[in-house]
Structure 1
Amino acid sequence: MKISIGLVTQSNLLRTYFTQYRHKIVPQEIFSRDYFRNVGVTFSVRVLPPTGRIKVAELDGWLKRLAQDSDGVIIFVDDHHRNCFSQFDDAYFIVDIPTGHEGVTQNFVHKLVTITLRQFEALSKNFDEFRTHKMLLLPLDVFSANELRQLRLRLTTNKMSSGLGFDLQQLLSQIGQRERPKSGGRYRTRYLVDDRGFWYHYGKEVHKRVATGVPPHRINCWHNSRFRFGRRYDELRHFNVDNDSDPTKVTGTFQDCHGSQISVKSASHLGIFPNGHQ
């Protein structure tokens, strides 16, 4: 597993430290943890050069370079730049740099990185298991369920709060209670069913391609089509969505990856990618 660590900050001291000591940013104890040792983890560090106000195209390009060939992406961001990254919270593991610390010390950096990687490990253990992997990839603005909304909040705004592993276990267990086969024994396939009565199955077929061109798409559509909460996923796979009728018939309004509402009437099924593209 290759994890890319990015740094975006106004602090010259912190940028200099991450640049000069990029090979020592991650404490050695991390490599001895069972999970990271078993996945053969490697790390790379990239620092966004200081430019004052970050332009959208510059940020997009830097993030794509950071994500290239990476299985995981963690980004440390200071208060000055945090708003620029809010649109990428669903895609990457974005961590706020604590304020109020005195200077830049090895202890400060190692503590920040160690805590972050422990949280990232809790996510990754669930991301690596297929049953919970597909739950973590459910279209966040399409699949209607309070548990999924709570999961999204826990892995974005509240990702650094303690007890992440336990909370993920509880929330994913609740989502798992929505998994069932269709009635009448028609299929052995198990589906995840949302509050609107739509049935979701994470398909193996790769005949569709997710579109991300700007416009009509937004900059974050590309990033959300490949990463979820900091982990890369297969951008070729999508969810097959229908209902429990025979034959299946889907009617409703669905939000796509860039916020548009798409109305569907009497379709046999829909193919929806994790980022919401249809």
Structure 2
Amino acid sequence: MKVSLVILSSDTDVLDFFNARQGSVVAKELRKSGRQFNVLCLSHELSPEEITNRLVLAHERSDCVGIVVEDKLRDSVPKEKGAIFTKEFNATAAKPSLQNYFGHQLARWLKNLLRLSEIFRDGKQKKCLMLPLENFQAPEIDRLKQIIRSENDESQFFEKLEGTLKNIRNRSVPKKKKSGQRHFLKDDKEHYYELAKERHGQAETATPPHFPLCALSAASRFGISLNREEHYNVSIEDGNISGEFAACHGTPIRIGPCTHINMFPNGHIR
């Protein structure tokens, strides 16, 4: 398993520390089981678009990516909250002992990231975690994003995450007509989402019309690298589905009547 830690800071002492220590900055217990850790330090002078492009490359080379960002640079981090797994730090507080500070600050957060990557291997959990966040209408989705964004270094992280995933799984229902044993995740708009077995290529990310954030949200969900060929079949209980949906770059897209929609986790429709 390959893990990348992306460090974003304006403090030369912090950057020198991570460049010198590389993977050894991670606790020994987390470096077991064949895990390979790579540290990538990014200049604070990079534009948000350049940082996003670097993160996409990191995901192409790694199974998961964690972002360690200096608090005063938080606005440089991509705003696609469904794609990233971040930990903020204060450079002044770290200065007395960088080793002790980051050893303490990163331990539980990084452990939670690694456990999250394991959860993605469970098919029942993965189909809940990969749902198109802007299109699947349910309060559980808002709670899921909040846990990942604001509570990812807490000791109760997985208890909270599991509780929310259970609530999403409770939305699993069969269609009343012709679905057999197939179950779908039904949202509050009566749309039925099924993680497809077939493949229809990858989510499109070419610029234009897309933006760097489209590529990032296609490559990652909550810091875990995705198979970009996986998508959902979205339908209604009976008849043709149509309506307005959120595209990956934030603009609405209107879909005419069809039996189902091929929708990727980042919202791209093809």
Give TM class, smaller chain: over 0.9
In structure 1, the residue matched to 2:87 is 95
**Which amino acid in 2 is paired with 1:28?**
K
SS, match of residue 197 in structure 1: coil
Letter in 2 for 1:49: S
Instruction: State yes or no: 1:7 paired with 2:7.
Output: yes
* Alignment partners' CA distance in 2, 1:10 and 1:227: 25
1:47 aligns with 2:38: no
Q: Which amino acid aligns with 2:29?
A: E
Q: Using the aligned pairs only, state the percent identity.
A: 27
Q: Tell me the residue number matched to 2:21.
A: 21
Q: Distance in 2 between matches of 1:85 and 1:155?
A: 15
| Offset from partner CA, 1:120-153 (integer Å, 9 cap, x none) | 1342232121100110000000000001111011
Residue number in structure 1 paired with 2:176: 183
**222-231 or 64-73, which moves further after superposition?**
64-73
**Paired residue for 1:270?**
261
Determine if contact 1:122/1:164 at 8 Å carries over to the other structure.
no
Greater shift, 14-23 or 54-63, is seen at: 54-63
Inter-CA distance 29–72: structure 2 relative to 1 (3 Å threshold): same
Unpaired stretches in structure 2, ≥5 consecutive residues: none
Offset at residue 222 of structure 1 (A): 0.3
Cα distance in 1, alignment partners of residues 110 and 179 from structure 2? 44
- Structure 2 residue matching 1:265: 3-state secondary structure: strand
Offset at 1:79? 2.1
Aligned to 1:240: 233
Where do 1:105-124 residues align within 5 Å?
Answer: 105-124=98-117
Q: Is the 8 A contact 1:8 1:77 kept in 2?
A: yes
Equivalent residues of 1:10, 1:80 under 8 A apart:
no
Q: Which amino acid aligns with 1:159?
A: N
Cα 1:209–1:101 shift into 2, 3 Å? same
2-side partners of 1:12 and 1:249: how far apart? 58
- Contact 2:70 2:89 (C-alpha < 8 Å) held by counterparts: yes
Secondary structure of 2:54's aligned partner? helix
Taking a change above 3 Å as real, the CA distance of residues 64 and 262 of structure 1, as seen in their structure-2 partners, is closer
Report the AA paired with residue 135 of structure 1. Answer: C
Distance in 1 separating the partners of 2:179 and 2:39: 51
2:123 and 2:103 map into 1 onto residues whose CA distance is 32
Report the CA distance shift for 1:102/1:218 in structure 2 as closer, same or farther (over 3 A): closer
Q: Distance in 1 between matches of 2:207 and 2:240?
A: 32
The one-letter amino acid paired with 1:101 is A
The answer to whether structure 1 residue 140 and structure 2 residue 137 are counterparts is no
2:73 aligned partner: 81
Question: Tell me, what secondary structure is at the counterpart of 2:71?
Answer: coil
In structure 1, the residue matched to 2:243 is 252
CA, structure 1 residues 10+234, in 2 after alignment: closer, same or farther (shift >3 Å)?
A: same
SS at match of 2:93: coil
Letter in 2 for 1:22: Q
Q: Residue 240 of structure 1: CA displacement?
A: 0.2
2:124 maps to 1:131: yes
Aligned residue type for 2:261: L
**Equivalent residue number for residue 167 of structure 1:** 160
Distance 1:276 1:102, change over 3 A: closer
- Report how many aligned residue pairs link the two structures: 268
Give the deviation of 1:50 after TM superposition. Answer: 4.9
